[in-house]
Amino acid sequence: MTSTHKKIPPSMDEWLREAKADAAAANVGMFLVHNGVVRETPKARVRQGVEDCGCVTGMEFAYDPKKVAAAEDETRKMKGVFYVRVWLNEGKLEVGDDIMYVLIGGDIRPNVIDALQHLVGKIKAECVEEVELKD
């Protein structure tokens, strides 16, 4: 897993310009962007309803580039998907910092939504290590 200092997030305007200039752009009818952000509310409270788990002050975030690349390749093979791009931050992040950006371009909404859910889920489950930092 990589782990250095947090990075500067990409420009979504620039990413979309590049995606629309891609050779496969004529097949794309929709782009979806996911922007994961460090939140103050702990995962345990949001996902399991645990109330007494304190507030998040930041996050240690790392990822495995080979696993991310494999997840991107797998997503590119999904039905109706013509464009995939991922950016992941790393290091010690603060509340409000960007964790990740994922851009999916595809033919129709259901295929793009499925691909986005698949890729973000795979990244979160298999490619990253994130540790919430608390008071």
> CB under 8 Å to 15, separation ≥6 — which residues?
33, 85, 101, 103
Question: What residue segments make up the domains of the chain, in order of their start?
Answer: 12-134
Query: H or E stretch including 59?
Result: strand 56-63
pLDDT at 44: 60
> Is the model's pLDDT at 3 over the cut of 60?
no
What is the pLDDT confidence band of residue 81, given thresholds at 50, 70 and 90?
Answer: very high
The pTM (predicted TM-score) of the whole model is: 0.90
| Percent of the chain whose pLDDT exceeds 90 | 83
Architecture of domain 12-134: Alpha-Beta Complex (3.90)
User: For 21-75, what is each residue's pLDDT tens digit?
Assistant: 999 999 999 999 999 999 998 776 566 666 766 789 999 999 999 999 999 999 9
Lay out the sheet containing 81-88: strands in order across. 30-37, 98-106, 81-88
pLDDT at 47: 63
